[in-house]
Structure 1
Amino acid sequence: MTLKTTRSTALAGAVALAAALTALTGCSGGGDGEAEGPGPETVKALKVCEEVLGAGGVSAARAILGDSDFRAESLPWAKVGEAMLKEARSYVPGSEDLSRSTYEPCRMSTAEGESIRRVDARVQWSVFTMDSVTVADKQRKWTKAAEDVYVQWERQPMDALVAVVPCRVPGAAAGQERELPLQVSVRSQGIGTDRETLSGKLLTPFVRDTQKRLGCQDPVTIPESLLPQ
């Protein structure tokens, strides 16, 4: 299953979310085979999740999500990296085009009746510039977590802890890292007060892994905690 959406407008984002929720109830990996453990697709996807979020992070997520109809889905990083590098290298400085593709290397979820508990790991090139996230803005509420590392909570349509960092891609135009920075987020649904602890545990290794896999030149140092203070 390919977990890729394009969010150029609010309407497109809503459509993508609806499609993701629909897919969540139809993909294999749980259901009647729950008593026998995760299905083969879920087992395969979990390996990708552990690569990008860390084995400890995945274990923490599973403990919070529970076992009811547990399933995992993934998009191989080879595909993610290829697509993102192509986007960065084709970016024209000063371009007014704010369309961005969003990729989900990992999604984990459980379902009990109509109740869905879910955690997504998402990555994209940000619509924000590094200059915009450094400006005090009461609506965006970006917090400086470290040098060139900015984070914020988003509450709609899902709770999300979002980090923006510069990432210079070899072969891209000069200044790409500040005009088209990297945006990495961990989104959650239905896990209540555990969302902050879990998101904080998952986001740091996810950002570090993403920088490495994209080959960011002069990668920024990511602190142990990215939870806004």
Structure 2
Amino acid sequence: MTATRSGVVAGAAALAAVTALAGCSVGGEAGGPAPETEKALAVCEEVLGAAGVSAARAALGDADFRAESVPPAQVREAMLKEARSYVPGSEDLTRSTYEPCRMSTAEGGNVRRVDARVQWSVQTMDSVTVGDKERKWAKAADDVYVRWEREPMDALVAVVPCRVPGAAAGQERELPLQVSVRSQRIGTAGETLAGGLLAPFVRDTQKRLGCQDPVTVPESLLPE
């Protein structure tokens, strides 16, 4: 598979199957988060860090706050299976997208949202290193590339190599890891928030998947 795969990112993302979320809830009777939201928040803290979740909640506000999650173990098993079934040189661009954490509020019909997504990228590591006007990937650290995507939501996306035990040789370059934090209606604060949330999310994902030779991730992945 060659670097030309990068041109199909939007189409592949639209076709990707997003794992259903669990834990949708509204506030409890006492005015605080309902038990389902509290449970989902615990998962969000696992993947994004407690400080990151606190920052996200401050940015979102309290109006009808709710959190949703997918068990990290479920995401891990599905992604490992996908990576281990990868055939080098395959032109199959189907990718499943997993959303282990989503937080949102709603006030006056305006929904604010922050979510964390992960998938195996349709990019190759070679494609993200090409500095042309189309891709606009910024090098945040060795083998760590980031960029903004503005539609349909503001999303800060990182691509890093992740060699999965039991996968074919070269999988980490041809089928790298793609991790993103997306925000909606948070304004310019959403950019700083995404930069702070994405770094711990990449580290946690590398650890959960057992990436061999994990990359070193800086404290923030906000592009300069």
**Fold similarity call, TM over 0.5:** yes
Code of the aligned partner of 1:144: K
Count, aligned residues: 217
The answer to whether the Cα contact below 8 Å between 1:34 and 1:70 also exists between their aligned partners in 2 is no
Residue 207 and residue 12 in structure 1: after superposition, are their counterparts in 2 closer, same or farther (change >3 A)?
closer
- Equivalent position amino acid for 1:62 in 2: R
Partner of 1:3: none
Question: After TM superposition, what 4+ stretches of structure 1 lie above 6 angstroms from structure 2?
Answer: 14-17
The 3-state SS of whatever aligns with 2:181 is strand
TM (normalized to structure 2)?
Answer: 0.90
Please give the alpha-carbon distance, in whole angstroms, between the structure 1 residues aligned to 2:54 and 2:97. 25
What does 1:175-214 correspond to in 2, within 5 Å?
Answer: 175-214=170-209
Query: If the length of structure 1 is used for normalisation, what is the TM-score?
Result: 0.89
1:33-112 map, 5 Å: 33=28, 36-112=31-107
Residues 23-63 of structure 1 show CA distances to partners (whole Å, capped at 9, x for unaligned) of 99xx74216x4752111110000000000000000000000
Question: How far apart, in 2, do the equivalents of 1:169 and 1:14 lie?
Answer: 24
Report the secondary structure of 2:97's partner residue. strand
Q: Secondary structure at the match of 1:101?
A: coil
2: CA distance between counterparts of 1:93 and 1:213?
A: 23
1:12 offset after TM fit, Å? 7.2
Distance 1:8 1:197 in 2: 24
Q: How far apart in 2 are the matches of 1:57 and 1:36? A: 23
The SS at the match of 1:88 is helix
Structure 2 Cα separation of the partners of residues 120 and 99 of structure 1: 21
- 1:13 aligns to what? 14
Inter-partner Cα distance in structure 2 for 1:85 and 1:220: 18
Contact 1:187 1:199 in 2 (8 A): yes
- Give the one of 26, 32, 42 matched to 1:30: 26
